[in-house]
Amino acid sequence: MTIGIVGLGLIGGSIGLALREPDRKIMGYDPNPDAVRVAGDRFCIDSVGTLDEVSQADVVFLAVPPIYVVSALEAVRKAKRPETVVTDCTSAKNAMADWVMKIKDPTVVIGHPMAGHENSGAKYASAWMFRGAKWILCPVSFTDKQAVRQVESLIKAMGASPVRMPPELHDRQIATLSHLPHAIAGALVQMQEDLAAEDVSGGSWRDLTRVGGVDPNLWTQIFIENRIELARAIGDLESRLGTLKTALETNDDKTVRSFFDRAKKAKKAFEIK
């Protein structure tokens, strides 16, 4: 089996490492020679090819920044074999879903691995990146079922669990579960800088700000791409914190207590799973 990877950054590099096995041939492409070199040094791929060569694989993973995903898809579609399956890794499905609905190509499977790292580049790629992670796929009415199963089988080979959902549900959920945490972390590190005092933070702060310094280029694209759903998620958080703030201002310990009671129950519900 041959695998093509377009974009040899953190995610593309990790897909390569996670899929490298004697019976799979991994060919990678990246327009940036530095990215190609790092991915090669870290043994993420078996060989380097042109975009046209990589597009000949059985399955092609697109792991490119959001603003390039549609143009990369168009280029791969021109060059690929009819049976080549193409899947992407983009964190917001809006533009990609619009394009797929227009083109109606059954071999294109919309996807998004729920894994990452606060640093960028194949330098931080890991064969274990996707172990235990969910990998969302958004097949639509005309997506070929065999293509979806082929992508799912590769996802499982990487140690991840495929989950199917419609693109719009993906965007709504990921606004809360991924984009909002990045917005919060970014705001918190700015607050810490404005405190202008010795760093006396502990573990909870360290955890909440881990993703506070992510790549501005990539994350501006992601936020703008999913801006409607993310604005809604920020509004939801503001309203919950606003209720808590009013309770604090009015010394209303009953409301504070029920905030924590509800939170503990919610946290437990997700731990059982």
Q: Which of residues 204-263 bind a copy of itself (CB under 8 A)?
A: 204-205, 207-216, 219-220, 223-224, 227-228, 230-231, 233-238, 240-242, 244-245, 248-249, 251, 253, 256-257, 259-263
Report residue 101 as tokens.
Answer: 């609905």
- Alpha-carbon gap, residue 100 to 106, rounded angstroms: 9
How many residues sit in the footprint of a copy of itself (CB under 8 A)? 89
- Least Å distance between CB 239 and a copy of itself? 9
User: Applying CB under 8 A, which of residues 15, 108, 115, 154 lies at the interface with a copy of itself?
Assistant: 115
Which of residues 48, 134, 159, 166 is near a copy of itself by CB under 8 A? 134
CA dist 39 and 36 (Å) reads 5
Q: Cβ closer to a copy of itself: 80 or 170?
A: 170
What residues form DSSP beta bridges with 59? 3, 85
The one segment of 5-13, 30-38, 146-154, 189-197 that binds a copy of itself by CB under 8 A: 189-197
Please name the residues in contact with 249: beta carbons below 8 A apart, sequence gap of 6 or more.
none
Choose between 1 and 133: whose C-beta lies nearer to a copy of itself.
133
Separation in Å, CA 34 to CA 14, 62, 122, 125: 16, 18, 10, 15
Which of 24, 70, 114, 167 touches a copy of itself (CB under 8 A)?
A: 114
Site mask for a copy of itself (CB under 8 A), range 142-171, x = bound: ---------------------x-x---x--
- Closest separation in Å from C-beta 103 to a copy of itself: 25
Instruction: Provide the sign of the torsion angle of the four alpha carbons 183, 125, 75, 139, taken in this order.
Output: negative
Give alpha helix (H) positions in 90-159: 94-103, 145-157
Complete DSSP assignment for 181-202: HHHHHHHHHHHHHHH-S-----
